[in-house]
Structure 1
């Protein structure tokens, strides 16, 4: 029953579950059973001191992303922050999901997830996420001083901001009233991606400053040119601020890609679709309490990983 309720609302789970000769339970009973399943999963994780069957070799990589889900009005907040992601090693992976408001110590809950996967004190943890500081800080708080955390800024988010700069520059040089030299704008914009891909963030920042300076020199041009130049400057400032705030998380993405190492948090974004959007997405028009959303996320991750199987059938009943 816990598996069915993790996929669809309680009333739909009653209609979709296999028919049983006994009287069908009420949807509130189904929801309560889901809560017991999630609580049982967390208690078994805390009580389990046995090592995993095949301990993961090498460092672990944690892919993190966040999702906003609608909150019930009595909690006096519009959205709940749901943290989802995936822990991967060379030959193993594990999904997880948690709501920070539903637990007194999100770091301890995250530490339990890492320890249950096989993480040991002193092992390197590589965290890949976007520019949201709360995501890597969650891992840092989880391990405290017992290990090293290396945060890598997701390449996809960098690439999209570079594309915005390229599109703004292209729109500027194509305006009929533009009297500047197109190559002075096009060449720096096309070079940004190459420099950042090879880990030369300081050089990319120099090109961004040059683009912003050249855009301010078009203040005497016609209105259409000034508007396009202001758009270029705004896009450059957005990228510049994004890079400056995450300078320590920029790496040589080309080298990591050639070595077969991940450079994107796409695995975490896939977990957002599987855990959050599939059950708690905006299209479902449902509102959630922190505890209810947390229980659904925990059970949903266990179902997707195959951890809620025959061995846990008593707990899932």
Structure 2
């Protein structure tokens, strides 16, 4: 039965009748669909419309789209098609292109829900119930990774950088986020959404831990105005460990204990930086280069001298981010971004780098990262339930 126009109550005329195919988890359904003419009282751009087609614009049920998006976020598009074909009674095997198109559509919906960029990340306006003081600080680790790039038909476009972060509260589950920094225009809003989901409270501080790279350092400074920024202790001690290994190869006939002397000075630099004394630490690294003039194997000495100069520049450039690591460690605070390194491996490397021959456009990589982080955080199904209220929750 054709319903009349709601405005003038006149019956609508039928233009044509056909079937539309609705893809579900249990196969495809053919649903009769009539195409009706708009009533004369309606100001519409098109002369006709299909009520059934408007009811199912995606031609797929939310449950099927959810599975496609979730699995394509965790594995390649081709493997996703194979898995869907093996476990679901689909009449036709899905193509990787259609799965990718669905994932991009879902990712664009996530981006639309994100909202506009904000000036700074703001905390909630009220304290948590029953608390007189803010909860323990949240720790946010930031690190970068690189992905094979492609531009149009050019499959040798080099690499582009992807920023990956992980927020670890004192209590509750950690959540990760990722973005192609050169493409993303809402990094503060993106991180703010993650922190809000973890219950960031008024007055609660945020500790940013990073490796001191220029890209990461410039990003984190503009995320939260009152946050503390720490240089990752792991990257400091890793550089010193490498130089101590190089010092073992230093040989001098006149100064037999030259190698041990350099090693002791490097251990002293590590001790100074552990206690936050970056001024003396950088100066000690500069003075240590004078010892290398006594070395007989000039080639090894030149390599160590280059490493010392780079380390000195690294410390001076990140001087504002060097803290008293010993004091922080004794108070149980995080001083290393090891949890961020694992996030880079989980979010980026496993899906887009390791054993993957595929090259990515910046847009394609950015959209995939949004659905992948939502899947790894366990929030993807809740997003679908917000868009489709009738979708059942997971058992």
Q: Indicate whether the TM-score tops 0.5.
A: yes
| Residue 253 (structure 1) aligns with | 325
1:188 equivalent in alignment to 2:265: yes
Q: What is the aligned counterpart of 1:209 among 286, 289, 294?
A: 286
Provide the alpha-carbon RMSD of the alignment. Answer: 2.8
Structure 2, unmatched stretches of 5+, are 1-67, 117-123, 129-133
Describe the shift of the 1:13–1:293 C-alpha distance in structure 2 as closer, same or farther (beyond 3 A).
same
Q: Give distance in 1, aligned partners of 2:153 and 2:189.
A: 24
Looking at both structures, which has the greater relative contact order when contacts are Cα pairs under 8 Å and sequence separation is at least 6? Answer: 1
How many residue pairs were aligned? 302
| Kept in 2: contact 1:61–1:126 (CA 8 A) | yes
Q: Give distance in 2, aligned partners of 1:169 and 1:301.
A: 43
| Residue 57 (structure 2) aligns with | none
Larger radius of gyration: 2
| Kept in 1: contact 2:114–2:190 (CA 8 A) | no
Describe the shift of the 1:101–1:228 C-alpha distance in structure 2 as closer, same or farther (beyond 3 A).
closer
- For residues 139-180 of structure 1, give each alpha carbon's deviation from its aligned partner in whole angstroms, at most 9, with x where no partner exists: 33334xxx31221011111011101221222211xx374535
- For residues 191-246 of structure 1, give each alpha carbon's deviation from its aligned partner in whole angstroms, at most 9, with x where no partner exists: 22222112222232232233112223x2xx64x2x233323322221211111111
Q: Give distance in 2, aligned partners of 1:75 and 1:161.
A: 40
**Once the 2 structures are TM-superposed, how far is the Cα of residue 99 of structure 1 from its aligned partner?**
1.1
1:125 equivalent in alignment to 2:197: no
**Once the 2 structures are TM-superposed, how far is the Cα of residue 103 of structure 1 from its aligned partner?**
3.0
Instruction: Give the 3-state SS of the residue equivalent to 1:244 in structure 2.
Output: helix
- For residues 233-280 of structure 1, give each alpha carbon's deviation from its aligned partner in whole angstroms, at most 9, with x where no partner exists: 222212111111111111111111111111111111111111111111
Describe the shift of the 1:205–1:141 C-alpha distance in structure 2 as closer, same or farther (beyond 3 A).
closer
1:164 equivalent in alignment to 2:242: yes
| Kept in 2: contact 1:40–1:315 (CA 8 A) | no
Q: Give distance in 2, aligned partners of 1:242 and 1:34.
A: 41
Q: What is the aligned counterpart of 2:217 among 110, 128, 136?
A: 136
Q: Give distance in 2, aligned partners of 1:310 and 1:200.
A: 47
| Kept in 2: contact 1:59–1:123 (CA 8 A) | yes
**Once the 2 structures are TM-superposed, how far is the Cα of residue 114 of structure 1 from its aligned partner?**
3.7
| Kept in 2: contact 1:168–1:235 (CA 8 A) | no
Q: Which has the higher helix share?
A: 1
| Kept in 1: contact 2:207–2:228 (CA 8 A) | yes
Instruction: Give the 3-state SS of the residue equivalent to 1:80 in structure 2.
Output: strand
Describe the shift of the 1:105–1:203 C-alpha distance in structure 2 as closer, same or farther (beyond 3 A).
same
| Kept in 2: contact 1:72–1:289 (CA 8 A) | yes
| Residue 238 (structure 1) aligns with | 310
Q: What is the aligned counterpart of 2:147 among 55, 66, 69?
A: 69
- For residues 25-84 of structure 1, give each alpha carbon's deviation from its aligned partner in whole angstroms, at most 9, with x where no partner exists: 22221111111222233334449xxx8xx9793332210111110111339852221111
